[in-house]
Amino acid sequence: MKKFFAILLSVVFIMSMSACAGGGGGGTAAAADDYMSWSPTPAYFNPDWPTLVMGTAAGFFPFEFIAHEGEAVNDRYAGVDISLAARIGRELEKNIEILDMDFGGLIFALQSGEVDFVAAAMTIRPDRAEMVNFSVPYFTAGQWVVVQIDSPYNSMADLAGRSVGVQLGTTGDFAVTDAEIDFSDIVRFNQPAPGIVDLIAGSIDAFVFDSSAARAFAATHSDRLRAFPDTTFFGAEQYGMAFHLENTELLAQVNAVLERALAEGYIDYLYDNYVAYFSPAD
């Protein structure tokens, strides 16, 4: 796979979209020295298997994104969650169909029966847990702040009187909205990438979103961006897959797969390799 492309190529792609592990194989994962020694196993489709519809928001690299031609795991999609879903499908003998939508619509799609489960780097929160059942936690993250490399900001308190961008409906949005900090403006985006474009252009002073993606953007564009945590402001977060409150059977089946993947270290393996060897399609 290609290394990360320049941000404008990634962003042009993501802005054209409508819309925040154990993946490729079944054994214990080994470290990869280069791309030729690692690639995610494509989803397996069997015409005799029933289909599960997975809801996601495919603008959140490296967990779900639209891949370059020939690099997808399922249809056009790749990422940690996509590879995890592929493994779930193989182990449960289910075909996995991906339904891509805005992050803010995922829980409603689950409640209405439009999707069978959600895998979208979704933070487990008490308010969400009243509406859906969450799987076992499979990834620990948190909110980070991305700023221009030469900016003077090193904490959330430093951003008082400044404009802060967030992804609509995410934990970062909730935290910034509820903060006792007098921001000049809170700008909400459906996807992180347009916010990063505005940050580079100077339209906003900072962008707050999950550490997994924030670090990837900053590492890719280290000449223009830097990212930092603020542990006095943000706490740790855990991602979970979401299920309808009444679908406890599917929840138990998926939990068993996730627990095996966690025991193998496979989810961290997927994350490390997606960050190292992939980028979203341009």
Mean pLDDT of 25-32: 34
- The model's pLDDT over 39-76, given as tens digits with 9 standing for 90+, comes to 788 999 999 999 999 999 998 989 999 998 889 999 99
- The model's pLDDT over 88-113, given as tens digits with 9 standing for 90+, comes to 999 999 999 999 999 999 999 999 99
Residue 147: pLDDT band by 50, 70, 90 thresholds?
very high
% residues pLDDT > 90 (the chain): 68
Mean pLDDT of 169-177: 93
Q: Is 79 left (phi over 0), alpha (psi -120 to 50) or beta?
A: left
Give 34 or 262, the one with higher predicted confidence. Answer: 262
What pLDDT score was predicted for residue 277? 86
Residue 278: pLDDT band by 50, 70, 90 thresholds?
confident
For the residues of 26-89, what is the DSSP string, one character each? Answer: SS-----SSGGG--PPPPP--TTS-EEEEEE-SEETTTEEEPPTT--SBTTEESHHHHHHHHHH
Residue 131: pLDDT band by 50, 70, 90 thresholds?
very high
What pLDDT score was predicted for residue 3? 35
Among 189, 199, 76, 71, smallest CA distance to 147 is for 199
Q: Lay out the sheet containing 242-243: strands in order across.
A: 95-100, 51-56, 117-118, 242-243, 133-134
What pLDDT score was predicted for residue 7? 36
Calculate the CA dihedral of residues 274, 140, 113, 190 and round it to 10 degrees: -70
Q: In the predicted model, is pLDDT for residue 23 greater than 70?
A: no
> CA–CA distance from 98 to each of 33, 121, 154, 221, 231 (Å)?
30, 15, 38, 30, 35
Q: In the predicted model, is pLDDT for residue 80 greater than 60?
A: yes
Going along the chain from its start, the domains and CATH numbers come out as: 7-138+240-277 (3.40.190.10), 141-236 (3.40.190.10)
> CA–CA distance from 134 to each of 82, 127, 230 (Å)?
17, 12, 26
Q: Measured on CA atoms in the order 194, 66, 271, 105, is the torsion positive or negative?
A: positive
Give 33 or 119, the one with higher predicted confidence. Answer: 119
What pLDDT score was predicted for residue 17? 31
Residue 142: pLDDT band by 50, 70, 90 thresholds?
confident
What pLDDT score was predicted for residue 282? 60
Residue 191: pLDDT band by 50, 70, 90 thresholds?
confident
Q: In the predicted model, is pLDDT for residue 22 greater than 90?
A: no
In the chain, which residue ranges form alpha helices assigned H by DSSP? 7-15, 80-92, 106-111, 126-129, 171-178, 192-201, 211-220, 248-264, 266-277
